[in-house]
Amino acid sequence: MTAEIKNDATKRMQKCVDTLKTELAKLRTGRANAAMLDHVRVDYYGSDVPLSQVASVVVEDARTITITPWEKPMVGAIEKAIMTSDLGLNPNTAGQTIRINMPPLTEERRRDLAKVVKTEAEGAKVAIRNVRRDANQAIKDQEKAKKITADDVKRGEAEIQKLTDQFVAKVDEAAATKEKELMSM
């Protein structure tokens, strides 16, 4: 029974780490990254769809992203979606190709983004701790139902704590990597 709880906790904690990495990929670092446009949604004939479903998004060089719509009328809608996003980017259109030049980040903006990274990391840690709490509660519930012994509870809680420590370390590593990337410009 505790193996099931541990496996469930492992999967849920991994999802927390994956979500953090996805959120960190959206942060603009001054370096071109196609993942930062993943959350941009474009009005495609009355329905909002992800940018990647209406255009090809390619990183041309370290500071340029090129977007090529699959349909010519989509150029204006894509431009509008990028400008209204929270990324603060200005697309340049040349015919049917949209280019986004990444401006270098100011020192102040880098510090602000580093704070955002820390906030996101702390949120992921809280989510991991919530998974730990749920797993420990499930173990205690099994003890109340007389399915496992008190020794099994202690052993199970120790294993869940080890898992928690491993995933918190992964969160710290992801956050440190992103902060280093932000500050190395």
What is the DSSP code string of 120-143? HHHHHHHHHHHHHHHHHHHHHHHH
Residue 1: predicted pLDDT: 56
* Mean pLDDT, residues 149-177: 92
Same domain for 88 and 54, yes or no, is yes
- Examine the domain organization and report whether 19 and 110 are in the same domain: yes
Which residue shows structure tokens 């904690």? 13
Among the three residues 79, 101, 123, which one is the final residue of a domain in this structure?
101
Residue at a domain's end among 80, 101, 122: 101
Among residues of the chain, what percentage have pLDDT more than 70? 97
- Residues 115 and 90 placed together within one structural domain of the fold: no
Number of domains in the chain: 2
How is residue 103 annotated by DSSP?
P
Mean pLDDT (whole number) for 9-19 = 93
Position 53 scores a pLDDT of: 86
Identify the weakest region by mean pLDDT among 23-27, 28-32, 55-59, 118-122. 28-32
> Do you know the residue count of the chain?
185
Q: Residue 158 above 70 pLDDT?
A: yes
Q: Per-residue pLDDT for 145 more than 70? A: yes
pLDDT score for 39: 80
Tell me: do 22 and 112 sit in the same domain.
yes
**Residues spanned by the domain of 52:** 34-101
Q: What per-residue confidence (pLDDT) applies to 124?
A: 94
We report the CATH number of the domain holding residue 93 as 3.30.1360.40
pLDDT at position 84, please? 84
Residue 51's CB: how many other CB atoms inside 10 A?
A: 24
Both 22 and 41 in a single domain? Answer: no
Residues 12, 65, single domain; the answer is no
Q: So what's the pLDDT on residue 185? A: 61
